[in-house]
Structure 1
Amino acid sequence: MMFKSKEQMAIMDTGTATKVRRNSLVDLHCHILPGIDDGSPDLATSLELAQTAVREGIGYILATPHHLDRQYINHRADVEQAVTKFQHELDQAQIPLTIFAGQEVHLNGDLAKRLPDLLGIDENMHYMLVEFPHQEVPTYTKELFFQLNCQDIIPVIAHPERNAQILKQPEILYELETEGALAQLTATSLVGGFGKKLRKFSIDLVKHGLVQVVASDAHALKNRKFALREAYLALDEIDRDFGPIFFENSKHLLNGEILNQQISLQPIRKHSWWQK
C-alpha cells in the first residue's frame, strides 16, 4: 500500500462527491505505532488502540513517536516504514483509520541542523510538533524557534500545560506565541484526568488563545487514553465557537494550511493557586 498524502485527506464536507466519514476527528499527537517508544508495546495493543480511537470518532491520526529525547531515536525513514506497515494491518483488519507519519521532536540546540531526518505535522513540514523538557523551557528556545521560522517552519509546542516552568510563568508561552509559535493542548488535561489544577490551567490557556489544537497524546496506559471527544465537549462548554475552531485547526495543521480562525491571543495573569 502506498503511503497516503496528507493533502489527499478528505475530511471536510465541501459538497463534493467525496463521502465524509462519521469518525472525522483528527488526532495530531498519538503514540499508536507498535514497539518503537513508550506508547504501544506491540501490534495487538496498537490495533486495540485503533479500534478505541474509531469508537471515539477519530478517523485520522498523526503517529508521533518520541524522537531525540534521552530514550528514543526514531528516524524519519523508520517512522514512515512503520506507518506503512501499520496502515496495512489496519486495512486488513478493516479498521477505518488513516495514519500519517510524524514525530514528537524533543527540543535540542542543534535541531535546525537535523531537518532532513525530521517529520513535520504536514508533509511539507510547515508545522513541527516539538516537546520541551518537562521541568523547564530551555534558554535557547527563542533562538531555535527563530532558526526554524527562517526555514518556514512553525513550531507547535506539545502539551505546554504540563511544563512546570510554563505552569508557573505562563508569560513564557505568550512571548513564544507572539513571535509565531503555536501550541497543542492534551485532551486528558482539559477534561481533568491530570487533576483539577491542570484542568483549570488548560481552560485558561484555551480562553486566552494560547493553545490552538487539542490532541490525545494517547499511550497504552490507563491514564493516557484518547479522551478527544470528551475534550471537544469541554471546549463547547467553555464557548460554543471553540470546538469548531479547534476542529478546523487540526485539519489545517495536518494539511499544512494557514489557520484562518484563532482565539484572540492574550497574556494570562498569575493566580495564587499556581503556586500551591
Structure 2
Amino acid sequence: MNSVEHILPCRDKLGEGPVWSVDEQLLYWVDIEGECYHRLDPLSDRHEVIPVGVPIGVLALRESGGLVMATKKGFAFWDEEEKKLTYIARPFGDNPDLRFNDGAVDCRGRFWAGTMADGLLSQARGTLYRLDPDGSVHEMIHDIGVSNGIGWSPDNRIMYFTDSPTYTIVAYDFDAETGSISNRRIFVETPAEEGDPDGLCVDTEGYIWSAYWNGFKVVRYDPQGQVDQVIEMPVPRPTAPVFGGQYMDELYITSALPVEEQRSDYPLSGDLFRVKVGIKGLAKYKFAG
C-alpha cells in the first residue's frame, strides 16, 4: 500500500461526508461547522468552497442533477444557481439541540441520514431517518449517541451503521425492496482508547473501511469484522473515507481540527488526504427524488 498523501490544505473545522461523483470525476465534501461544502477536481486541482449558511451534516448527489443535503434544519435541495436551500422535510422541527450528521443513499435512491446532539450541554439523543424519493420520511433507528458512518454490502443485503460513542459498528439485514432493516448485531466493537469509529465506506470485495476520530487511523475490516489492515494517519481526527479516482481505487479521507492544545502538534488537521490503495470501492448511489 502506498503512503498517505496530503493533497489539500483546506483546514476544515469539521470536514466530513466525502462523496465522489463518477460522472463529473469530482470530490464533494462538507465542513459542518464551516457551514459550507467543497468541490475538488483532483486532476486540475480546481477547488471551490461554496458557503451554504447552515451546518450541513451530509450531502448526496441527485439522479436529476444537483445536491440533496441533511442540514441543521432538515432535509433540503441545494440550488447551485440561486445558491439557496429549499427544505423538503424537517423531521425534528426547530429543535436547537439536534443537527444532522452523517448519512448515505441506498441502492434504491433513498437518502439515510442521522442526527446527534448539537452543543456540549445538550442531552438529546439521535435518530436515523430515511428520506424516500417521494418525500416521505421514516424513523429507522432511535436512541443514537452520534449517528455516523453508514454503508451497504456489495449485494445490498447488509447495512452497516456506526454509533460513535458506543465504539461500535453494527450490521443489519437490509431489504432493498422495502428499505427495512432487521436482525441488529455487533459487527465491530473497539476499545475506547483506540478512538471513535466515524465515517465508513465499502469496497467491491465487501470489506469495510472506517475512520477513527481521535484514533489517528483508518481501518479496513473483512466481512467478519476482523482487522485486515490499518492506515496510520498524520492527524488525530480523520473523519470519513470514500473511494474515488478514475479507477475507483483511491481512498480520499477528510479530517477535523483537534482540541486547541493539539493543533500546533498536528498542523495538517482539517485537511484532505488520499491513499492509492489498489482496491476498488463501490460508487455512491444517487438520491432518486
* TM-score, reference length from structure 2: 0.34
Query: Of Structure 1 and Structure 2, which has the larger fraction of its residues in strand?
Result: 2
